[in-house]
Structure 1
Amino acid sequence: MTALPPLISSNAVQGAYRSSKAMVADATQNIEKTESKSFSEILQTAAAEAISNVHETEAVMQAGLQGTVNTQQIVEATMALESSVTVAVSVRDKFVAAYQEILRMPI
């Protein structure tokens, strides 16, 4: 017959639990609190970035017409603009759908 392994003492288990709890507490104390932004601030920032992207793309396209920028840079700028427009249209569609849901709610 094989011998059974010795049981772990409850003191050892409690000690391990306390040390792991202290490690978690130390980790959470080191986390810095960041300022939370409101939804309108986040939306305003996203809109400003999209508008900036449009202006940058227009500048690259004008430079391309003048021959100072190669075709690859024009294509990259156009793809970035397409991505921004797709996101803007998706957000608009979600806002319209949410507004329509609000209008359908009974008073």
Structure 2
Amino acid sequence: MLDGLATQVGPAMKPANVAAATSFSAALASVSQDAVSTLRDAEGLSLKALQGETETREVVDAVMSAEQTLQAAIAIRDKIVTAYLEVSRMAI
């Protein structure tokens, strides 16, 4: 019955016993690598702008993207810390 429901709703809803394609740590590592890459790209464009090699608009776009990425990373970190603290307070 659950398999029929999963196919009706879509591939995102799968039974709990189906193994995920990627682990949580691999997904988190991938996201963090993308965030670091975005921040480094913004930094590189900022340095190129100081040397007069790129337009201001490109720098503004890159810095705003880096700021959004950093805010998302901080929010994810806060959620992970909160979850850890809740688990650590549970009685065993």
CA RMSD across the alignment: 1.2
Q: Determine which of 34, 37, 62 is the counterpart of 1:52.
A: 37
Taking the aligned partners of 2:41 and 2:31, their CA distance within structure 1 comes to 15
Q: Give the gaps of 5 or more residues in structure 2.
A: 1-19
- Secondary structure, aligned partner of 2:53: coil
Query: Please, which moves more after superposition, 35-44 or 59-68?
Result: 35-44
Which amino acid in 2 is paired with 1:90?
A
- Secondary structure, aligned partner of 1:52: helix
Q: Give the gaps of 5 or more residues in structure 1.
A: 1-34
Please give the TM-score of this superposition, normalised by the length of structure 2.
0.75
Deviant stretches of 4+, over 6 Å: none
Identity of aligned residues (%): 36
> Is residue 52 of structure 2 the alignment partner of residue 67 of structure 1?
yes
Taking the aligned partners of 1:83 and 1:36, their CA distance within structure 2 comes to 28
- Structure with more contact order per residue of length (Cα contacts < 8 Å, sep ≥ 6): 2
Q: Rg: which structure is higher? A: 1
Please give the TM-score of this superposition, normalised by the length of structure 1.
0.65
CA-CA distance at 1:102 after TM superposition: 1.1
Taking the aligned partners of 1:100 and 1:44, their CA distance within structure 2 comes to 21
